Structure 1
Amino acid sequence: MAVLMTVLCALTAAWALKLLHAVWWKPKMIEEKLREQGIHGYPYKLVYGNTKEMMELAREKGSEPTEQPHDILPRINPLLHDLATTHKKSFVVWYGTTPRVAIMEPNLIKEILNNKSGDFPKPKTNSFTQLFVSGLATYNGDKWAKHRKIVDPAFHLEKMKHMMPALDVCTDEMISKWRKLVNFMGSSEVDMSVEFQNLTGDVISRAAFGSNFEEGRLIFLLQKEQGRLFLQSQMNINFPLLSYLPTKVNKRMKHINREVGSLLTRIIKKREKFIRAGEHKDDLLGLLLKSNLEQVQANNNSEAGMSMQDVIEECKLFYFAGQETTSNLLTWTMIVLSMHPEWQDRAREEVFRVFRNNNTPPNYDDLNRLKIVNMILLEVLRLYPSTSLIRSTNKETKLGDLCLPTGVQLFIPLHLVHRDKEQWGDDVMEFKPERFSDGKFETTNDKLSYYPFGWGPRVCVGQNFAMLESKLAMAKILHNFSFELSPNYTHAPYSAVTLQPRYGAPVILHKLPSVTRTAAVL
């Protein structure tokens, strides 16, 4: 018995020392190494890091008015704003026991995003993230390379053109609903954040699953709920062990994960059977499965392709990336064009001019001629990027003159990088789409301070799809309505999983005067 007690005491002491190392010694050692290199921030605090200060500052300063509506960082993250104001180019923020070093020097960002040797991988996902979404966006190394090779063909430009009818049908359904609302009174208030979530969910359901649209929409609704639950789970970021407890949120997330997996498995197996029989459809799922089969056959090895679970995770990623990013872009575009009616008028004039004598639905070439609409979308992405970019280190790593310890996350805060006066000029807080009149790589001094879809080998594979969908939706909206912000709108951007309007986006749609309308059919 004495021996057993001695062993138990030794194990307990070893566990306690290991825990103490993880929550105190290691963070403090990293903090000291960063400080020696001039990377400062709020001091690390046991377990919580800076998360308490972050929440307190958000409560104190998050509702304070800003001088310019597009100067949003003091509102969405006051702690980050304070650190950026004090330390300029590099600083550290502690998310629990994890240090995130902000990187804003263009040459260092380029080094991170262009790295092909795996020095700056995506951070490991926690169990909550894995239940919500993983796939290509979260993988590293050989698995990422294999998935990228298989997924890429589904997003080639020529394939995107085949999806135009699906985009057109979904957008027309939304426009038709809005016309009915507006026709009775001449105007109607609509919450754009809700409308565009539904639109982009319908689009990705049709584009991904084609004739299985209804099943696809059910998956979208389940994934939408999973996203809300995932956001709730992030309150436990400092206590990862809670993910294993049978809480209400945990049980529901696991149930949704199983249900979505079951629905997708049924759809995928049915589609695989058709493909083997020589029947093929040019939706995202069909293209993905065809590419996957070709990889297996070319290498005569099932390991060269993706497993059923891999395909399921990519389909879940279609929903999150395809729905969330585009929905946010359209929502902020409607808000910003309501704030700047002169650009709304210019965009509408262009739409009427481009489609004046066109009696058929717009095609890709038509949309590509919308230069002003494109400039507006690019400028909205500059001011209101959906999220920021995060990489990590899994060994001591050199970055420029910095020597980064193992376990550091590298944070590229796009809300700051896209507002760097040295790169963009003194008017950086203003909405000026003309910045992009010569293309998105001709806008800044170093030509590389714009990353709404990332950059380098891991640039977002779906960016062309998102821009195509956004141009089509905006063209049809501008052709049918003028719009302004509702008196009920409060400009309060906040960062959830992505950047969203905290109180929705109520916009008043107006019926266009008949003299403004042309014979074009959109």
Structure 2
Amino acid sequence: MEATLVEMVHTLAAILILWLISRSLWHLVWRPYAVAGWFERQGIRGPPYRFVLGSLWEMKQMLVAERTKAPLDIGSHDYTSRVNPFFHKWAADYGKTFLYWLGPTPTIYSTDLELVKQVLEDKTELFQKDYLNPILERIFGKGLVTTNGDDWKRHRRVVYPIFNHESLKSVSAMTREGTQKMIAQWCNQIEKGDGHQAEIDMRCYAEELTLGVIEQVIFGQNSKESREVFVAGKEGQKLAVYAFADPQIPGFRSATSNITQLIKERLASGVGGDDLLGLMLQAYKLKEVESLSYDEMIGECKTIFAAGQDSGATLLTWAMFLLSIYPEWQEKLRKEVLRECRDDDGDAPNSNSIQVLGKLKLLSMFLLETLRLYSPVPFLLRKTASDTTLANIKFRKGTMITIPIMMLHRSKEIWGLDADEFNPMRFEKGVLGATNNTYAMLAFSCGPRACPGRNYSMIEVQTVMTLILRRFSFSLSSQYVHMPRNLITLAPRYGLPLIVRNLLDGQKSDI
């Protein structure tokens, strides 16, 4: 009897092992080749699938090779072959729509604007945001960036009020206050030097400034706890991009516990507030149907914190870079700011009004061109939730879709022969005037899931620029190395050292 039981156990174990092997072979071998054949019959090819890793090993090798190359010329804005060398190569080999593999997951890359429109607008309900590395969800938490379906709609209804018109007025005021502190620091550095100029790392200042603003938007205060959220997020970005791994990072645990502590303190005090945390807690205490759970509030704080801070800092960094290498545009914008940013009496400078910022047409055109050439997010990823057809291509459920923003923004077919060149005047009549297609400009995405913080980032950076331009001129330091890199968002690899000069030379200024 005992021998029979042992034999049964061995038999069941053998069956289980065979089942697991067959499932693995189906998932890792048969299915990928069948899917490749399915797309090839539709005229879509790509790099060959490799067992388990798909295209990942080839992608990583190309990235490593690019890091050893010499820096780009300062005036070159065609960095696509450095940041995403695999997309650059495969697009040249296989055309504007091709198949590649993220492990065993089939992924379609496309710059077909009709397909892009259907994914982001027409059939958006059929697609999920799907992030390959679990570490990204730990950076952003369960918030607007990572949720899907009904959960995303619920988060959206709770969070969107912080991006309404009245809230944006306070963002401009908070940004003005933070910029004044930054300007005071620059003046202090200049005084300690030769009294006329100083070298600063604009990337560091941009991060510090936007961090201070987003802290107040979310928590209503600047605190040590929220700074730890920022530090943890930055470390996570590096690891996500370069390790393709999900290591245990102590900073993430402390960041979550810090937000938890802030929530507990706010609940205990009974103080609401009109910041993001206050809005979420108000719904939570009233047990509203649309309220977020405790864990969801933590995730949303991390989401808005990471996304809001990084997008503003990235846009400001690259805007300052471009003005440093195109001094004629720096002077054009300075004249516009001095002309338009005045109170009714014509004397005291004023940039604390959204209405005033709306008059700065050249600055708006310049920032659109900055976003086109140096979009904060290089690409978007979506996952099909069911079988579907897009732009006459049939997709199976579970297929990933890559929308390469940086490649779309440089398409000569869309933008003309000068697509790789800096030319803000292309936006003289807006995005539609430049391309006749709103889906050609995707710095903040498009459609229902477009970034809700677009106006927030634009107002934040416009406010900073109006204050800096009338007080300082700036140029690149000889220490700058032009090597953009992708850390979830696009950043200069070695920072942005600038030489800033005080235009007032010790004069008293009402900024």
Deviations 1:61-105 (A, max 9, x none): 552566861111111122211122233320123222223211211
C-alpha distance in 1, partners of 2:329/2:209?
Answer: 24
Q: Percent identity?
A: 33
8 Å contact from structure 2 (residues 131, 137) kept in 1: no
More moved, 100-109 vs 161-170:
161-170
8 Å contact from structure 2 (residues 473, 503) kept in 1: yes
2:164 maps to 1:130 = no
Q: Which residue number in structure 2 is paired with residue 402 of structure 1?
A: 393
Q: How far apart are 1:287 and its partner, in Å?
A: 3.4
2:130 maps to 1:140 = no
Distance of aligned partners of 1:20 and 1:332 in 2 relative to their CA distance in 1, 3 Å threshold: same
AA partner of residue 274 (structure 2): D
8 Å contact from structure 2 (residues 81, 88) kept in 1: yes
More moved, 13-22 vs 353-362:
353-362
Distance of aligned partners of 1:29 and 1:235 in 2 relative to their CA distance in 1, 3 Å threshold: farther
Q: Which residue number in structure 2 is paired with residue 164 of structure 1?
A: 172
Q: Which residue number in structure 2 is paired with residue 259 of structure 1?
A: 254
Q: Which residue number in structure 1 is paired with residue 321 of structure 2?
A: 335
Aligned to 2:434, the other structure's residue is in SS state: coil
Distance of aligned partners of 1:456 and 1:48 in 2 relative to their CA distance in 1, 3 Å threshold: same
Which of residues 172, 180, 183 in structure 2 aligns to 1:175? Answer: 183
Aligned to 1:458, the other structure's residue is in SS state: coil
AA partner of residue 307 (structure 2): A
8 Å contact from structure 1 (residues 197, 324) kept in 2: yes
AA partner of residue 83 (structure 1): W
Distance of aligned partners of 1:65 and 1:223 in 2 relative to their CA distance in 1, 3 Å threshold: closer
Q: Which residue number in structure 1 is paired with residue 333 of structure 2?
A: 347
8 Å contact from structure 2 (residues 218, 275) kept in 1: yes
2:393 maps to 1:369 = no
Q: How far apart are 1:28 and its partner, in Å?
A: 1.9
Distance of aligned partners of 1:365 and 1:452 in 2 relative to their CA distance in 1, 3 Å threshold: same
2:474 maps to 1:483 = yes
8 Å contact from structure 1 (residues 163, 283) kept in 2: no
C-alpha distance in 1, partners of 2:79/2:313?
Answer: 19
More moved, 362-371 vs 439-448:
439-448
C-alpha distance in 1, partners of 2:495/2:92?
Answer: 29
Aligned to 1:440, the other structure's residue is in SS state: helix
Matches within 5 A, 1:219-368: 219-235=226-242, 237=244, 243=246, 249-250=247-248, 253=249, 255-272=250-267, 280-290=272-282, 292=283, 302-356=288-342, 357-359=347-349, 362-368=352-358
C-alpha distance in 1, partners of 2:59/2:293?
Answer: 41
Matches within 5 A, 1:108-123: 108-115=115-122, 118-123=125-130
Matches within 5 A, 1:42-81: 42-61=47-66, 63=69, 69-81=76-88
8 Å contact from structure 1 (residues 152, 461) kept in 2: yes
Deviations 1:418-470 (A, max 9, x none): 11112111111111111122223322033431011111111111111111111
C-alpha distance in 1, partners of 2:494/2:71?
Answer: 15
Q: Which residue number in structure 2 is paired with residue 94 of structure 1?
A: 101
Q: Which residue number in structure 2 is paired with residue 506 of structure 1?
A: 497
Which of residues 411, 414, 420 in structure 1 aligns to 2:411? Answer: 420
Aligned to 2:470, the other structure's residue is in SS state: helix
Aligned to 2:312, the other structure's residue is in SS state: helix
Which of residues 189, 195, 199 in structure 2 aligns to 1:189? Answer: 199
Distance of aligned partners of 1:513 and 1:171 in 2 relative to their CA distance in 1, 3 Å threshold: closer
C-alpha distance in 1, partners of 2:8/2:42?
Answer: 48
Aligned to 1:456, the other structure's residue is in SS state: coil
8 Å contact from structure 1 (residues 162, 282) kept in 2: no
> What's the C-alpha RMSD, in Å, of the aligned pairs?
2.4
Q: How far apart are 1:263 and its partner, in Å?
A: 2.1
Distance of aligned partners of 1:54 and 1:125 in 2 relative to their CA distance in 1, 3 Å threshold: closer
Aligned to 1:220, the other structure's residue is in SS state: helix
8 Å contact from structure 1 (residues 208, 284) kept in 2: yes
Which of residues 462, 468, 471 in structure 1 aligns to 2:459? Answer: 468
AA partner of residue 506 (structure 1): P
Aligned to 2:145, the other structure's residue is in SS state: helix
8 Å contact from structure 2 (residues 163, 452) kept in 1: yes
Q: Which residue number in structure 2 is paired with residue 22 of structure 1?
A: 27
Distance of aligned partners of 1:481 and 1:359 in 2 relative to their CA distance in 1, 3 Å threshold: closer
C-alpha distance in 1, partners of 2:396/2:322?
Answer: 41
Distance of aligned partners of 1:311 and 1:115 in 2 relative to their CA distance in 1, 3 Å threshold: farther
| Alignment TM-score, normalising by the size of structure 1 | 0.89
Q: How far apart are 1:380 and its partner, in Å?
A: 0.5
Q: How far apart are 1:126 and its partner, in Å?
A: 4.6
Q: Which residue number in structure 2 is paired with residue 204 of structure 1?
A: 214
C-alpha distance in 1, partners of 2:339/2:481?
Answer: 34
Distance of aligned partners of 1:258 and 1:53 in 2 relative to their CA distance in 1, 3 Å threshold: closer
AA partner of residue 5 (structure 1): H
More moved, 399-408 vs 436-445:
436-445
Q: Which residue number in structure 1 is paired with residue 46 of structure 2?
A: 41
8 Å contact from structure 1 (residues 40, 92) kept in 2: yes
Aligned to 2:440, the other structure's residue is in SS state: coil
Deviations 1:210-267 (A, max 9, x none): 2x322xx432333323431353245554xxxx75xxxxx41xx2x4333223322232
AA partner of residue 334 (structure 1): M
8 Å contact from structure 1 (residues 113, 458) kept in 2: yes
| Structure 1 alignment gaps of length 5 or more | 244-248
Q: Which residue number in structure 2 is paired with residue 521 of structure 1?
A: 510
Aligned to 2:126, the other structure's residue is in SS state: coil
Deviations 1:29-66 (A, max 9, x none): 22221222222221111122222222333344552566
C-alpha distance in 2, partners of 1:236/1:511?
Answer: 43
Distance of aligned partners of 1:116 and 1:157 in 2 relative to their CA distance in 1, 3 Å threshold: farther
8 Å contact from structure 1 (residues 322, 466) kept in 2: yes
Distance of aligned partners of 1:228 and 1:256 in 2 relative to their CA distance in 1, 3 Å threshold: closer
Which of residues 155, 158, 167 in structure 1 aligns to 2:163? Answer: 155
Which of residues 440, 443, 448 in structure 1 aligns to 2:439? Answer: 448
